[in-house]
Amino acid sequence: EVRLEESGGGLVQAGGSLRLSCAASGFTFDDYAIGWFRQAPGKVREGVSCISSSGGDTLYLDSVKGRFPISRDNANNTVYLQMNNLKPEDAAVYYCAAGYYSDSLHRGEYDYWGQGTQVTVSS
């Protein structure tokens, strides 16, 4: 059974940090790119960052560049999103997703999805 499980969300003040984790199982993890997406109430789900299967290539939404480094640990089937200098507009449910042929932040390229973790940023 394929599983992606996000953790690390919570409530933080603006300017603070959180580290999200995405633990994967049930598929060959190091064959898949992993993406992070977010969806705020009333808004479309948008791609935040993705990392290639090897970890050698990364991509970021312009508004998070320099604040949200993404990394992966293929030995432990986990991807991380370190979120620094959080802003109220970063508040959303954050999802991780796995895609075999993914190299962008387009949702349609991703095959498996987690259930999401809530990030709330107070001003």
Q: Residue 98 forms beta bridges with which residues?
A: 34, 112
Spatial neighbors of 122 by CB under 8 A, at least 6 apart, are 11, 12, 13, 14, 88
pLDDT in tens, the chain (123 residues): 999 999 999 999 999 999 999 999 999 999 999 999 999 999 999 999 999 999 999 999 999 999 999 999 999 999 999 999 999 999 999 999 999 988 899 999 999 999 999 999 999
Look up residue 7 and give its DSSP letter. E
pLDDT tens across 6-37, in order?
999 999 999 999 999 999 999 999 999 999 99
Which pLDDT belongs to residue 87? 98
What Cα–Cα distance (Å) separates residue 97 from each residue in 17, 28, 48, 52? 22, 14, 11, 12
Q: Are 84 and 67 in contact (CB under 8 A)?
A: yes
Which pLDDT belongs to residue 102? 84
